[in-house]
Amino acid sequence: MQTPWEYRYAHRMQNMKSSVIRELLKLTEQPDIISFGGGLPAPEVFPLKQFQEACNYVLENFGPQSLQYSTTEGYRPLREMIARHTARYSVEVTADNILITSGSQQALDFIGRLFLNRGDYIVVESPTYLGALQAWNSYGAQYIPVRADEDGMVVDELEAALRIGPKFIYVLPNFQNPSGSTLSLERRKKLVELADKYGVPIVEDDPYGQLRYEGEHIPSVVSLDSEYRGPNGGHYSGNVIYLSTFSKLLAPGLRLAWVIAPPEVIRKLVMTKQAADLHTASFNQYVAYEVAKGGFLDEHVKTIRATYKERRDVMIEMMEEVFPAGMRWSHPKGGMFLWGIMPNEMDAAEVLKRAVEKKVAFVPGEAFHATGGGKNTMRLNFSYSSPDTIREGIARLGETLKELMVERV
């Protein structure tokens, strides 16, 4: 007889939904569709030559080690390099503060596994990163959304949320996915103070921090927390768990990211990773270290910034030209995403259907809202498509919006 699998699945699977974005990407995989839906880096900026040199160097000099099982914590020279990089941004850390993960998504999953009992609350921005919601839904998380504007989470509204007793606060302070907003310095400081006052940890997710196209660098939340606590004797032991990644600076296909946290949290995450996948691919860690160790990424990031800045500017210029009155959009100072806001009564899912007929796609914003809402919003990616493609895609989207607005009248 056939096995009735659906009755064997664990209860947690009832909360699991396939990512709206990934499903949408399948829909828009027809080659003639211009998709602003994904969150892909521009493949033109991948440093292929440096990669190839690094692969050859690693195999010639560290062949057997780079292909063997290795430690769960991650390749030590890579962790030490990340520690030095972090120190440049005023956070004193050692390799014991660092775990290498298979992408930031894995770090989000591990944080869920380490902290969340069914029903636990998490404070999130509204909107927030969909991948985090996906990771934490399977642990039965509940969410307390705090309103965000162009300066990020409205921290004045955070205190009420903290009195609910959440497990942690989740923020993406730089060029947030999806909205593109950046948390102001003043709000970052207030966030650190409030989190300390209520004894609630902060998870700071920072994939795009290096991708700033205008304005001054703002210190990370972990560095402000470190400063707030004063000298710590060499390693970080504060209240923030910080995530970043090589996906946007180097290449996402390597699946390499890192977590910075107090050593005792890292030790627990290491146990979690041991049971989950033993360790991140050794070869990838050796190669990334070889590519990055001489400071190459410092130069390379300038190329990425120049490329993405142009694309952002082209997208915004074109929107100004073709989008109908009533449409608003964010002006992100970095990152990969721009946030579109339609008149309240419009539904982005409906707009998408019509847009796909015109061969252009985006992600409706509702999925980024942990507890619903945002039906009139959309996320647009500007890093992946060439300037010409962006012009053409925004023209098509403008046309779609105009038609639908006329029909509504």
Interacting positions 294-323 with a second copy (CB under 8 A) = none
Among 67, 81, 322, 405, binds a second copy (CB under 8 A): 67
Minimum Å gap between C-beta 246 and a second copy is: 11
The backbone region for 189, taken as left when phi is positive above 0, alpha when psi lies in -120 to 50, beta otherwise, is alpha
Of 84-143, binders to a second copy (CB under 8 A) are 101-103, 105-106, 109, 113-117, 120, 131, 134-135, 137-139
Minimum Å gap between C-beta 251 and a second copy is: 4
219's CB contacts (< 8 A; 6+ apart) are 89, 90, 185, 188, 227
Minimum Å gap between C-beta 181 and a second copy is: 23
Q: Is residue 237 close enough to count as binding a second copy by CB under 8 A?
A: yes
Under DSSP, the state recorded for 334 is B
375: nearest Cα among 399, 400, 405, 351: 351
Using CB under 8 A, count the residues that bind a second copy.
Answer: 90
311's CB contacts (< 8 A; 6+ apart) are 42, 382, 383, 385, 386, 387, 390
47's CB contacts (< 8 A; 6+ apart) are 250, 251, 291, 296, 300
Q: Is residue 239 close enough to count as binding a second copy by CB under 8 A?
A: yes
Q: Is residue 72 close enough to count as binding a second copy by CB under 8 A?
A: yes
Among 81, 154, 276, 322, binds a second copy (CB under 8 A): 276
Beta pairing class for 328-329 and 337-341: antiparallel
Smaller CB distance to a second copy: residue 140 or 343? 140
Among 220, 282, 377, 381, binds a second copy (CB under 8 A): 282
- Alpha carbons 336 and 155: distance in angstroms, whole number: 24
What is the arrangement of strands in the sheet containing 377-381, beginning at the earlier edge strand? 328-329, 337-341, 377-381, 363-364
Of 18-57, binders to a second copy (CB under 8 A) are 18-19, 22, 38-41, 43-44, 46, 48, 51-52, 55-56
Minimum Å gap between C-beta 165 and a second copy is: 11
Smaller CB distance to a second copy: residue 55 or 301? 55
Smaller CB distance to a second copy: residue 199 or 295? 199
Joined together, the tokens standing for residue 386 give 């060439």
H or E element at residue 267: helix 263-277
Of 173-232, binders to a second copy (CB under 8 A) are 196, 199, 201
Q: What are phi and psi of 223, to 5 degrees?
A: -75, -35
Q: Is residue 265 close enough to count as binding a second copy by CB under 8 A?
A: yes
Q: Is residue 167 close enough to count as binding a second copy by CB under 8 A?
A: yes
Minimum Å gap between C-beta 103 and a second copy is: 5
Minimum Å gap between C-beta 162 and a second copy is: 14
Q: Is residue 278 close enough to count as binding a second copy by CB under 8 A?
A: yes
Which residue reads 């927030």 in tokens? Answer: 128
Minimum Å gap between C-beta 29 and a second copy is: 10
Give the residues across from 340 on adjacent strands.
329, 378
